Amino acid sequence: MPSYPAGLSVSNHALITLSDALRHRLSTVGTRWRRLSVGEQALLVVAHLRKGETYTDLAAGHGVGTTTVFRYIHEAIEVLAALAPDLRTAVEVAVRKAFVILDGTLLRMDRVGMGSGRDRPYYSGKHKCHGMNVQVIADPAGRSVWASPALPGARHDMGAARDHGIIDALCDAQVKVIADNGYHGSGFEVPQRRRPKDPATGRRRRLSENQKDVNSAHARQRGPGERANAQLKTWRILRKIRCCPRRVTDLVKAVLVLIHAG
Question: What is the rounded CA–CA span in Å between residue 183 and residue 191?
Answer: 10
Give the domain ranges of the chain: 12-83, 87-245
Q: What is the pLDDT of residue 47?
A: 93
pLDDT confidence of 185, banded at 50, 70, 90? confident
Which pLDDT tens digit goes with each residue over 68-125? 999 999 999 999 999 999 999 999 999 999 999 999 999 999 877 776 777 888 899 8
Q: What is the reported pLDDT for 184? A: 87
pLDDT of residue 118: 79
Stretch 206-235: mean pLDDT: 89
Q: How does the average pLDDT of the chain come out, rounded?
A: 90
What's the confidence (pLDDT) of residue 166? 95
Q: Please tell me the predicted confidence (pLDDT) of residue 91.
A: 96
Q: How confident is the model at residue 214 (pLDDT cuts 50, 70, 90)?
A: confident
One-letter amino acid for residue 1 of the chain: M
Alpha-carbon gap, residue 182 to 184, rounded angstroms? 6
- Taking the C-alpha atoms of residue 129 and residue 156, their distance in angstroms, rounded to an integer, is 14
**Statement: residue 1 has pLDDT above 80:** no
Confidence of residue 149 (pLDDT cuts 50, 70, 90): very high
Verdict on whether the full-model pTM lies above 0.95: no
User: Does the structure show a pLDDT above 90 at 262?
Assistant: no
